Amino acid sequence: MTVKVKICGLRRPEDVDFANRLRPDAVGFVFAAGSRRRVTPTEALALKRCLAPGIVAAGVFAGDSPEAIAAVVASGAIDAVQLHSADGDEERIAALRALVPGVPLVRAVKVRTADDLATAEASSADLVLLDAGAGGGVPFDWRILAGHPFSRPFWLAGGLTPENVAEAVRFARPRGVDASSGVETGGFKDFAKMQQFIAEARK
């Protein structure tokens, strides 16, 4: 099975143009407060309207109410919801299922120990994303997965770059991979790095 690829943190029209040319499976628009990649719902909708059909747009949230997230979904700016921090607890997932039925829900879990893997394994989200943290650019220790096999499909994020993504895929066997800072130069998306990352992940 070909590994799926998501490029997160798109915020400029040229970022969307890069994605349209390279065709990752998904992209991410960040709504989390404090992120330098943050976009407003209005900005995200304008970017989404330029995104090629077939590329899924996920909204990345941390701290927003289920009602606020549902409003972004209703606007048409995103196709899926990615939950970080306290947004990922079961009560909030249940609330979102009632508000946006049928919209895929992704639970991002910061991995440090085997207990974090257990949290991800038990999540009722449609998909789990095993992450190193909030854009720190450093991967978590993938050896945790070797010692505690993960039975459900998952995506891998955190510190992935064109140079290490092939190794990550071979070692961790994720369903998909997600990159943000690893495909940037000077804080902005870099076409060549995105191209290399996607090719390395899928080869």
Global pTM reads 0.93
One of 15, 25, 64, 131 is an active-site residue; which one? 131
Structure tokens at 75: 């606007």
- Domains detected in the chain: 4-105+158-202 (3.20.20.70)
Tell me the residue type at 180.
S
Residue 83 CA to residue 100 CA, distance in Å, equals: 14
For this structure, is 8 an active site residue? yes
Residue 199 CA: distances (Å) to CA of 162, 165, 186 = 8, 10, 22
Structure tokens at 164: 């290490």
One of 8, 25, 87, 178 is an active-site residue; which one? 8
For this structure, is 131 an active site residue? yes
Of the candidates 168, 172, 171, the one whose C-alpha atom is nearest the C-alpha of residue 182 is 168
Residue 164 CA: distances (Å) to CA of 98, 156, 178, 189, 200 = 39, 12, 12, 18, 9
Q: Report yes or no: 56 and 26 within 8 Å, Cβ to Cβ.
A: yes
Residue 91 DSSP code: H
pLDDT tens digit at each of 203 positions of the chain: 789 999 999 999 999 999 999 999 999 999 998 899 999 999 999 999 999 999 999 999 998 999 999 999 999 999 999 998 766 789 999 999 999 999 999 999 998 888 888 889 999 999 999 998 755 567 888 888 877 777 888 999 989 999 999 999 999 999 999 999 999 999 999 999 999 999 999 98
Ranges assigned E (strand) in 74-126: 80-83, 105-110
